Structure 1
Amino acid sequence: MRSIDAVPVPLDAPNTQAWRTPLELALLGAIWGASFMFMRVAAKDFGAVPLVELRLGLGALVLMPFLWRARASMTLKHWPMLVLVGAINSAIPFVLFAWAAQRAPAGVGAIANSMAVLFTALVGFLFFGEKIGTRRAIALAAGFVGVVVLASGKAAGASVGSAVAAGATAAFLYGIGGNLVRRHLSGLPPSAVAAATLGTAALMVLPFAITQWPQHEIPARSWFAAGMIGVLCTGVAYAMFYRLIQRIGAGSAATVTYLVPLFGVAWAWLLLDEPLTLTMGIAGSIILGSVALSQRSTR
């Protein structure tokens, strides 16, 4: 999942049935939540970097028609920023989350990912002169407490601190990428921006993926999981997300943030038999509560 506030787009007239938006939000939350489960399955066989190369490449292919349609608006002056955003908002955070998936339950990464909303506000305050306000400052502090609580936990007797640190770093990079996109690429079609950044990120990761490609036979289960991450959880999910932003606005689409960790934990519990620990429950409640408080102050 990328930063929620990455691409603000004008609202379309509300002309859809009342049930459509909640259904699409729930479906998108379920898809993005499943991405952490699929990473948990595939990362151990592919390794972090080769898995991310498949994810980036497949996601870019799904979105390539949007880039082709908008090719006239993607001038040479845009591409340096697109390459930078591809690294910050896709290549590096995807590798960090895949690396974390090798070391901690899927729910840990899903919970850490929800910090992206808070980090977007923090980066805007630190580097772009945005006002943060008392309520959002409290939300940020509470979110960081939640990360500390999450990092203090254990899974199967092993510490998950390094995985939490990787996930939090990825979320912080999403915060940087979201601010860069909002300020430098907001005039471009958002689905085309997603295709361009995924494609450039895939080219960046490719040499590392080739040198680290696994020499052993990869089970069909892991191939299936890798394909689902790339096609469904990246390509299709990004297209769905930008359609939602265009129809209901970035603020309303941001509510998917609350659903991703819930689905991430639920999928892992149902299909991978991963336990929901007390530490995960407490940390998740703190982080999601802080995100809700931050979003309330925004609206």
Structure 2
Amino acid sequence: MNAVLYLAVVVIWGTTWIAIAAQQSVFSPAVGVFWRFTIAALGLFVVLLLSKRLKKLSLQDHYFCMLQGLCVFGLNFICFYTAVEYINSGLESVIFSMAVLFNAINSYLFFKKKISKSFIPAAICGLIGICALFWHDIVSTQLHWQTLSAIGLCMLGTYGFSLGNMISLRHQNHHKDIFTTNAYGMLYGALFMGIVALLLKQNFIPDLSTKGVLAVLYLAIFGSIIGFSLYFMLIARIGAGQAAYSTLLFPLVALFISTFWENYHWHISSVLGVLFILLGNWILFAQPKYFLKHSAKISSS
């Protein structure tokens, strides 16, 4: 079951980049995300009400749902969509892969969950792999104050995503229904993005196209309702650190699709990146004895 959830999250979120690109050609970032999570929240509420699965939440639970909406369904998108104007998406993917480390550290800080012995070598392989995968993007980036600001925004967005993961763990530790908390979190996130769009005086209903509408619907239904629900279920089952390792595989799916969709050309470094990321997955989930012993020596030294 864990493998199915993991694969589903990777495939769904690995394909959302197509819809995000299509959406950005029609909507501004804040408006696009507003409609994405408004539709997702309303759709989820309808399903929960019809199935009588919508649960009551306390005032404190609503407070944490607001924080989750701000972190996962609002702040991180503002950060990444703003940063992409100054750095390429490859470098953003490299920075977002830090969610693997942030989740492991935050799980220990907030819930005292020990980091597994296989996690350290797996994370090292994964981070090396993601850097190799986007090596050409990294070396082509020119450092100046705008670039550094964009990198800082990406780090902030990634850490916000990680905090949202911790809030999801809090919900599940308190036996809160994941679909109910997701529905309210998405609703609060959409409200936040709507306020941002209003302050920026952006158009909520631009000249719509079939492509733009389909993109938002795909992001709302598959990328948000299904994707986030499966991801938060995965966190509950295998832990936040291991679940976040799936973020290293999103770019692989995107690049494989781009090979046929946009005629992406692979480099030696890209192939090496794929191998390192797959090796990291093998270490993390197969947990070979050599790496367990090696990591145990590192932690004890």
* Stretch of structure 1 that moved more, 192-201 or 156-165: 156-165
Among 197, 209, 213, the residue aligned to 1:223? 213
The answer (yes or no) to whether the contact 2:108–2:114 under 8 Å persists in 1 is yes
The answer (yes or no) to whether the contact 2:68–2:164 under 8 Å persists in 1 is yes
Shift of 1:185: 4.5
1:59 aligns to 2:30 (yes or no) = no
CA distance in 1, matches of 2:151, 2:272: 15
Larger radius of gyration: 2
**Which digits, 9 at most, give the CA deviation of each residue in 1:115-166, with x for residues without a partner?**
4333211222345443335543444455555566567532896669777765
CA distance in 2, matches of 1:226, 1:108: 25
Question: Could you tell me which residue of structure 1 aligns to residue 165 of structure 2?
Answer: 178
CA distance in 1, matches of 2:249, 2:129: 17
Question: Could you tell me which residue of structure 2 aligns to residue 213 of structure 1?
Answer: 202
Shift of 1:177: 1.8
Shift of 1:184: 4.5
* Stretch of structure 1 that moved more, 113-122 or 228-237: 113-122
The answer (yes or no) to whether the contact 1:111–1:261 under 8 Å persists in 2 is no
1:197 aligns to 2:185 (yes or no) = yes
Percentage identity across paired residues of the two chains: 19
Shift of 1:262: 2.4
Corresponding letter in the other structure for 1:43 = Q
Q: CA RMSD in A?
A: 4.1
Among 252, 255, 262, the residue aligned to 1:272? 262
CA distance in 2, matches of 1:130, 1:25: 20
Using the size of structure 2 for normalisation, the TM-score is 0.70
Corresponding letter in the other structure for 2:213 = W
For structure 2, which runs of at least 5 residues remain unmatched after alignment? Answer: 293-301
Question: Could you tell me which residue of structure 1 aligns to residue 18 of structure 2?
Answer: 37
Corresponding letter in the other structure for 1:59 = A
1:65–1:115 distance in 2 versus 1, CA, 3 Å: farther
Question: Could you tell me which residue of structure 1 aligns to residue 65 of structure 2?
Answer: 82
Corresponding letter in the other structure for 1:37 = I
Question: Could you tell me which residue of structure 2 aligns to residue 3 of structure 1?
Answer: none
Shift of 1:80: 0.8
For structure 1, which runs of at least 5 residues remain unmatched after alignment? Answer: 1-13, 15-20
Shift of 1:78: 0.9
Shift of 1:258: 6.2
The answer (yes or no) to whether the contact 2:29–2:81 under 8 Å persists in 1 is yes
* Stretch of structure 1 that moved more, 126-135 or 184-193: 126-135
Using the size of structure 1 for normalisation, the TM-score is 0.70
For this pair of structures, how many residues does the alignment match? 277
CA distance in 2, matches of 1:24, 1:124: 20
CA distance in 2, matches of 1:258, 1:81: 27
